[in-house]
Amino acid sequence: MEETIRKAISGSGADYVEVRIEKGSRSQVFFRKDRLENIESSTESGGIVRALVNGGWGIAVFNDLSDLKSKVREASRVAGHVASRIDDRAALAEAPVVRDEVRVSLKQDFREVPLQEKKKLVESYNRILLSGGEKIVSTIARYTDSFREITYSNSEGTFLIQEVPDVTLMLAAVASDGGANIQQGFETLGEAGGFEVVLDREREAEGATRRAVDMLKAKSVQGGKYTVILDPSLAGVFIHEAFGHFCEADFLFKNERLAKIMTLGTAFGNEDLNVVDDGYIPGRRGNTRYDDEGVARTKTYLIRKGRLEGLLHSRETAKRMGAAPTGNARATSYEHEPIVRMRNTYIEGGSATFDGMLAGIDRGLYAVKAYGGQTVFEQFTFSAAYGQEIVDGKLGDMVRDVVLTGNVFDTLRSIDQIGDDLEIIGGSGGCGKGGQYPLPVTDGSPHIRIQNVTVGGAR
Ligand SMILES: [Zn+2]
């Protein structure tokens, strides 16, 4: 393979060429309510050439390897054409030339599990979801797996082979009181692991269906300002969605005002606040031992001791900003070029205990799991899956319709306690950006306490 790629690249006339070839297999089983909506397994292979000529990029996607030489020519020709029409020329920061092979060994390789066995398992979880009683009106039980072998080579001499496994499970139940009150309970998980990850998840299915029904009885939260404790799952989504995307250097080129706010050294929180984006944590979905430009994994502090310390870079954004590449150039598949993306992003653990956080709160709210959310520049809106009142330092009744809104920078500064119970969580979805979705990532956090959070009472 290496020889084939070398030959195709040589004599391209481009300043830089890279080739990424992917061989993959995937399967999916999806039940909704009492129906099997989808069951499939497939294999796919293809590749992409990216060429840089005089500061212009060209790409060419292919499925047939015997085309490689002509695809290199095509990408170079496009790049030359682009270069003739732009003023803003791309260049790449230096990156070490590497040669490596990253193989994984799975405890129980999902490629060897028959599709019918996967179906049986997902169906059994779906039955549990449906068993929540007559109030359950719909369910989702969805399993996915994929295994990719990615070969990467560039004209500088880097040659890499990496195996990337991914397995996810989503279990959700929807309950209705027959009227307008419709509630959901769900559990999602995802890891860079084997079939064992999704086994023995009966308790998760039971929990999801029970919560959907319980939430029908919960009262709607009263809107207002609260001292809020976020659970690790919701806090993780917050740090990824509301803050992490601003740390992607390519985003800042498009937004001058935010680029100013995101000046290295700026204080964003108290001394205890540390936020990390890490390219390797055993078993995690966001793992990128080498990114899709062949840059080795880094552990990057975005915030250290409350101050902005780093941004996330591709080789191109690193060059533009005079920084070092961080290994964050990622593509969802061979059909796309790499762009700056997060990996495993989390708030580091602190020293507070959950009980200690509760103790100081007269009237507050415990918000658990993200149900959905959106951000418009610095303003975020997140729906929690559910909440619990906090009264005189103790957890009280369940509440629903918990919607948190705020300005991300004000909110970071209002974090006054950080728990000692860091959890890194891989859900079943992924991150979307620039038309590339879903990219496997994880996020995480310990419990965190935030002062003065605006809570709305309607979804
Ligand atoms: Zn995202």
Q: Fold for domain 2-217?
A: PmbA/TldD fold (3.30.2290)
Q: Are 357 and 306 in contact (CB under 8 A)?
A: no
Distance in angstroms (rounded) separating the CA atoms of residues 224 and 318: 43
Dist. CA 48–CA 436, nearest whole Å: 15
Cα of 135 from ligand 1 centre, angstroms: 34
CA–centroid distance, residue 440 to ligand 1 (Å):
10
Whether 370 has a pLDDT exceeding 80, the answer reads yes
How many Å lie between the centroid of ligand 1 and the Cα of residue 331? Answer: 13
Q: How far is the CA of 377 from the centre of ligand 1 (A)?
A: 13
- Given this model, what pLDDT does residue 459 score? 44
Give the Cβ contact number of residue 420 at 10 Å: 13
Taking residues 386-407, report their average pLDDT.
96
Spacing, Cα 199 to ligand 1 middle (Å): 28
Q: For residue 439, how far is its CA from the centre of ligand 1 (angstroms)? A: 9
| Ligand 1 geometric centre to CA of 241 (Å) | 5
Question: In percent, how much of the chain has pLDDT > 90?
Answer: 96
240 alpha carbon – ligand 1 mean position (Å): 6
Q: How many A from CA of 247 to the centre of ligand 1?
A: 11
Question: What are the tens digits of pLDDT across the range 255-288?
Answer: 999 999 999 999 999 999 999 999 999 999 999 9
What average pLDDT does the segment 334-339 reach? 98
- Going from the Cα of 165 to the center of ligand 1, the distance in angstroms, rounded, reads 20
Do the Cβ atoms of 52 and 293 come closer than 8 Å? Answer: no
Q: What is the pLDDT of residue 145?
A: 98
Ligand 1 centre to CA of 292 (Å) is 18
The answer to whether 316 and 340 are in contact (CB under 8 A) is: no
Report d(CA 40, CA 348) in Å as an integer: 39
Q: How far, in Å, is the centroid of ligand 1 from the Cα of 114?
A: 33
Residue 313 has pLDDT above 60, yes or no: yes
pLDDT in tens, 419-431: 999 999 989 989 9
Q: Return the axis-axis angle of helices 202-217 and 115-130, rounded to nearest 10°.
A: 30
Between the CA of 432 and the centroid of ligand 1 the distance, in Å, is: 5
The reported pLDDT for the residue numbered 458 is 52
Distance 121 CA to ligand 1 centre (A): 30
Answer whether residue 385 shows pLDDT above 80: yes
Q: How far is ligand 1, taken at its centre, from the CA of residue 376, in Å?
A: 13
Distance 81 CA to ligand 1 centre (A): 32
Distance 398 CA to ligand 1 centre (A): 29
- Give the distance (Å) from ligand 1 centre to CA of residue 433: 7
Give me ligand 1 centre to Cα 17, in Å. Answer: 28
Top-confidence residue, 169 or 1: 169
Per-residue pLDDT of 99-157, as tens digits, reads 999 999 999 999 999 999 999 999 999 999 999 999 999 999 999 999 999 999 999 99
Instruction: Round the average pLDDT of the chain to a whole number and report it.
Output: 96
Cα(262) to ligand 1 centroid in Å equals 18
For residue 338, report the distance from its CA to the centre of ligand 1, in Å.
Answer: 15
Distance, CA 431 to ligand 1 centroid (Å)? 4
Give pLDDT, residue 344.
Answer: 98
* pLDDT range class, residue 457, cuts 50, 70, 90: low
CA 12 to centroid of ligand 1, rounded, Å: 36
CA of 320 to the centre of ligand 1 (A): 23
Distance 430 CA to ligand 1 centre (A): 7
State mean pLDDT over 303-310: 98
| pLDDT band for position 167 (cuts 50, 70, 90) | very high
238 CA to centre of ligand 1 in angstroms: 10
Q: How far is the CA of 180 from the centre of ligand 1 (A)?
A: 31
Average pLDDT over residues 5-26: 96
The one-letter code for the residue type at 98 is V
More confident position, 373 or 406: 406
Q: Where are the domains of the chain?
A: 2-217, 220-456
Measure the CA–CA gap between 172 and 327, rounded to whole angstroms.
Answer: 35
The mean per-residue pLDDT over the stretch 19-47 comes to 97
